[in-house]
Structure 1
Amino acid sequence: MPLRYYEDIPVGDVHDLGSYEADRSELLAFAERYDPQPIHVDPEIAAETMYGGVIASGWHTASSCMRLLVDGFLAETETLGSFGLEELRWRNPVYPGDEVSVEVRILEKTESTSRDDRGYITSETEATNQDGEEVVYWRATNIFLKDPDE
């Protein structure tokens, strides 16, 4: 399948990126290494918090969703990366065993005024748990190559 260019990605497109199960050992290992707050790594302390148990680090949730975004959309495009996130929100906690579903929506496109070989696409990525509750949301602008044959 040929890679998709800037011109091939219409505003309004929605891509279902699939889902993943929040694996307890994986989220604990991630938190131990990168975000060792007690709510992420200590079941006894976490049980006494408003969460009632260990929850995934928001960074783990975002990283897991990013993997689905790459596999389900970006890997099939001529993307040059991103400027970063304009907004990132962790709306609800992710618990071990949760099923997290992810989708990306294309919001707007802007042609580069300084480089005629590219354009910018703003999208929002949203993930929900098995109960339909939003667990993470982000808005980002990615750089996409234009089709050289256009």
Structure 2
Amino acid sequence: MRGLYFEEFAIGAMFDHTLRRTVTEMDNMLFSNMTLNPQPLHIDRHFCETQTEFGQPLMNSLFTLGLMIGISVNDTTIGTTIANLGMSDVKFPNPLFQGDTVRVTTEVLSKRESRSRPDAGIVDFEHKAYNQNDVLVAVCRRQAFMKRQPAPDVMEA
């Protein structure tokens, strides 16, 4: 399985990714601890139940961002991306909680050939993550540096 090459992306194309993931308390604890994030909003259930409006821990937003982009890879960029160039306009309009199931969509916003590398191009994606109730929980714009299709092999006579 491979992702799409630069030429294969069409502006306006939409991907409704088939991969889904139910997030867990362990995901939240491991990610928060691996990134040295002691925020009680993610790791302290009692704090969340007694001192927040949510009444339960929120999934770490950077975990949510990574999961959203990760879910998109299989359908879009696996093996054909050179690098991520940046992420912008990252928003978390609604909370994601432990036990929620995440689904993701991706839209191709724009693309252009690389000015410095003839074998590459830049594709702008907008990723959106929803919970099991179709509530938007995350959105971001991502620029990916993508490989162009290799030239066909020419056989010598």
Instruction: Determine if the TM-score, normalized by the shorter chain, exceeds 0.5.
Output: yes
Secondary structure at 1:63's aligned position in 2?
A: helix
Secondary structure at 2:89's aligned position in 1?
A: strand
Give the aligned residue type for 2:145.
I
User: Displacement, 1:3?
Assistant: 5.1
> For the Cα contact (< 8 Å) 2:2–2:80, is it kept in 1?
no
Match of 2:75 in 1: 72
Match of 1:19 in 2: 20
Secondary structure at 1:45's aligned position in 2?
A: helix
> For the Cα contact (< 8 Å) 1:126–1:136, is it kept in 2?
yes
Secondary structure at 1:40's aligned position in 2?
A: helix
> For the Cα contact (< 8 Å) 1:28–1:56, is it kept in 2?
no
Match of 1:85 in 2: 87
Structure 1 residues 145 and 57: alpha-carbon distance in aligned structure 2, compared to 1, 3 A threshold: same
Secondary structure at 1:72's aligned position in 2?
A: helix
Greater C-alpha radius of gyration: 2
Q: Give me the TM-score of the superposition, normalised by structure 2.
A: 0.86
Distance 1:40 1:2 in 2: 35
Q: Report % sequence identity.
A: 26
Give the aligned residue type for 1:131.
N
Tell me which of 59, 63, 68 is aligned to 2:66.
Answer: 63
Q: Gaps (5+ residues) in structure 2?
A: 153-157
Structure 1 residues 89 and 2: alpha-carbon distance in aligned structure 2, compared to 1, 3 A threshold: closer
Consecutive aligned runs of 4 or more in structure 1 exceeding 6 Å deviation: none
Q: Gaps (5+ residues) in structure 1?
A: none
Tell me which of 101, 104, 119 is aligned to 1:102.
Answer: 104
Alignment RMSD (CA, Å): 1.7
Secondary structure at 1:113's aligned position in 2?
A: coil
Distance 1:29 1:116 in 2: 41
User: Displacement, 1:66?
Assistant: 2.5
